[in-house]
Amino acid sequence: MIRRHPLAIAICVTLAACAREQAPPFDLVIANGRVLDPESGLDAERHIGIRGGKIDVVSETPLKGGRVIDAARHIVSPGFIDLHEHGQQDESYRMMVRDGVTSAFELEVGTGDVAAWYAAREAGQIVNHGVSAGHIPARMKVLGDPGQGLLPAGIGGSGTATDAQMAAMEVILREGLAQGAVAIGFGSAYTPGAPISEIERMFRVAAEGGVSAHIHMRGGLKGLQETIAAAAAAHAALHIVHVNSSAGDEIDGFLTAITAARDGGQDVTTEAYPYGAGMTEIQSALFDEWQTWPEPRFALHQLVSTGQRLTRATFAKARAAGGTVIIHGRSEEQTRAAIASPLAMIASDGFIENGRGHPRTSGSYAKVLGKYVRDDKTVTLIDALRRMTLDPARRLERRTPAMLNKGRIKAGADADLTIFDPATVIDRATYEDATIASAGIPYVIVGGQLVVDGGNVTTARPGRAIRAPIATKSR
């Protein structure tokens, strides 16, 4: 549509309207919704016409479609983009999508084999998906860690790497980037054997590849300052994962330090999930000191497989057997401070396996919208949506141009959309049952197809790989 000459506007609009009348109907139309787009600031009733998986038009007048969804009294938002999701399988995707997520990334731990990771999901998934090349799995591979899960259970975490071993990790990370990894993942909290100099060396690989470094850091506020300094020295873009749990009661100091780095011109971003408990593998380095704990501390730990709170004896047993544990203990004020910060993107850090997991997998987005936006008025709606859509898209788009078409509602953008009722949206998953879907999100669209229709997950699998451009091998 040409709209350059002011005198031509009336004719063009008329012609466009005529063409629209005569054109075959859109594949799908979202009618009468309150459309919010954090990039343009649009907040108005509009009709969205979808064709070929893309948003074709955002119109003030009604449109005809093969199917028309009446979104009256509902918000139409860009689909939510989760930068921290370990559950990269159908069972987790089924929960996340009912929480409004349309693109899910595993960027913290990542993978040691990027090509295989994408190949395993090639048939199409419920949501779009992507991965980082991970320092943790690279280190586990190079040092020969015995861990069977995501995280080191021995030498991969605690061992010291030689110069040659670090060079071998760099090779794995570079290979991952060449295969289309969208970031590099780190977990210095899980690799206490890696000095900050090793982390900085791997940050340099991220800088060289033009990707952000996503890190679950260690060491509280001092650790944050060290991590920010290492990223600055390496000229790497830095993303601090789950600032709520990494900071704990130092949340104000964390947010101040990140703001200061940003004000100084450094590329530092962060994320949070809206729950007071964390979750991780019980054999990981986070619990290496467990034998020194006072008795009451064990009761803050809840075994995911059974929902049971632990004692010294049952903790010892579970630590030997392996598995996942939920860690209670942060205050509501700490969670609220993280969620209130305009710096914090919303990211779930979730997964569900065999019906068990953390409620953040299933409820993070609805909880922010229902509790923190509507009920508590801690965050404005548009700010919350920006941190669920546009900000995560922008974090990745420099290296992964596919993200330029996500996180926005405009003609030409991917038709990834979440439609929710602002009066009823809320999380329902609990620490005892994380498989209860969020309420108030009746329709979710991925690539122009309904993946949630009337609150139910459909059989459509339009979710595609989101990958950075793959390097073609030169001689």
Residue (106 or 416) nearer to Zn ion, CB = 106
* Closest approach of Zn ion to the CB of residue 454, in Å: 32
Of 168, 167, 172, 197, give the one whose Cα is nearest residue 184: 172
Residue (82 or 108) nearer to Zn ion, CB = 108
* Closest approach of Zn ion to the CB of residue 382, in Å: 27
Residue 82 sits in the site that holds Zn ion (CB under 5 A): no
Residue (134 or 407) nearer to Zn ion, CB = 134
Q: Which stretch binds Zn ion (CB under 5 A): 108-116, 363-371, 403-411, 427-435?
A: 108-116
Residue (363 or 462) nearer to Zn ion, CB = 363
Question: What kind and span of H or E run contains 70?
Answer: strand 65-70
What is the spatial distance between Cα 84 and Cα 100, in angstroms, rounded to a whole number?
A: 15
Q: Which stretch binds Zn ion (CB under 5 A): 256-264, 271-279, 349-357, 410-418?
A: 349-357
- CB of 105 closer than 8 Å to CB of 466: yes
* Closest approach of Zn ion to the CB of residue 152, in Å: 14
Burial of residue 163, with CB atoms counted within 10 A of its CB: 0-12 exposed, 13-18 middle, 19 or more buried: exposed
* Closest approach of Zn ion to the CB of residue 87, in Å: 10
Structure tokens at 16: 């466009």
Residue 271 sits in the site that holds Zn ion (CB under 5 A): no
| Beta-sheet strands, E only, within 228-290 | 237-240, 268-272, 278-281
Residue (280 or 302) nearer to Zn ion, CB = 280
Q: Which stretch binds Zn ion (CB under 5 A): 8-16, 135-143, 175-183, 343-351?
A: 343-351
Residue (279 or 429) nearer to Zn ion, CB = 279
Return phi, psi of residue 60, to 5°. Answer: -85, -15
Q: Which stretch binds Zn ion (CB under 5 A): 107-115, 159-167, 266-274, 413-421?
A: 107-115
**Residue that the structure tokens 């900071």 belong to:** 247
What is the spatial distance between Cα 173 and Cα 235, in angstroms, rounded to a whole number?
A: 17
Q: Which stretch binds Zn ion (CB under 5 A): 249-257, 331-339, 342-350, 374-382?
A: 342-350
* Closest approach of Zn ion to the CB of residue 247, in Å: 15
Size of the site for Zn ion (CB under 5 A): 2
* Closest approach of Zn ion to the CB of residue 123, in Å: 26
* Closest approach of Zn ion to the CB of residue 213, in Å: 15
* Closest approach of Zn ion to the CB of residue 267, in Å: 21
Give 11-22 as a 3 state SS string: HHHHHHHHHHHH
Residue (84 or 399) nearer to Zn ion, CB = 84
Residue (99 or 108) nearer to Zn ion, CB = 108
Query: Could you count the other beta carbons within 10 Å of the beta carbon of residue 207?
Result: 17
- CB of 327 closer than 8 Å to CB of 279: yes
What is the spatial distance between Cα 271 and Cα 197, in angstroms, rounded to a whole number?
A: 24
Return phi, psi of residue 359, to 5°. Answer: -60, -20
Q: Which stretch binds Zn ion (CB under 5 A): 43-51, 68-76, 226-234, 341-349?
A: 341-349
Residue (99 or 349) nearer to Zn ion, CB = 349
What is the spatial distance between Cα 40 and Cα 77, in angstroms, rounded to a whole number?
A: 12
- CB of 185 closer than 8 Å to CB of 396: no
Query: Could you count the other beta carbons within 10 Å of the beta carbon of residue 298?
Result: 17
Between the CA of residue 306 and those of 148, 287, 300, 325, what are the distances in Å? 20, 19, 15, 10
Q: Which stretch binds Zn ion (CB under 5 A): 15-23, 101-109, 143-151, 426-434?
A: 101-109
* Closest approach of Zn ion to the CB of residue 324, in Å: 11
Q: Which stretch binds Zn ion (CB under 5 A): 27-35, 44-52, 73-81, 345-353?
A: 345-353
Residue (349 or 416) nearer to Zn ion, CB = 349
Structure tokens at 386: 């920006």
* Closest approach of Zn ion to the CB of residue 109, in Å: 6
Cα-Cα-Cα-Cα torsion 402, 383, 39, 203, nearest 10 degrees, comes to -40
Residue (241 or 426) nearer to Zn ion, CB = 241
Among 145, 349, 391, 414, binds Zn ion (CB under 5 A): 349
What is the spatial distance between Cα 419 and Cα 54, in angstroms, rounded to a whole number?
A: 16
Between the CA of residue 56 and those of 28, 65, 227, 412, what are the distances in Å? 10, 12, 43, 6
Residue 108 sits in the site that holds Zn ion (CB under 5 A): yes
Of 50, 12, 44, give the one whose Cα is nearest residue 28: 50
* Closest approach of Zn ion to the CB of residue 150, in Å: 8
List the interface residues with Zn ion, window 407-466 (CB under 5 A): none
Q: Which residues bind Zn ion (CB under 5 A)?
A: 108, 349
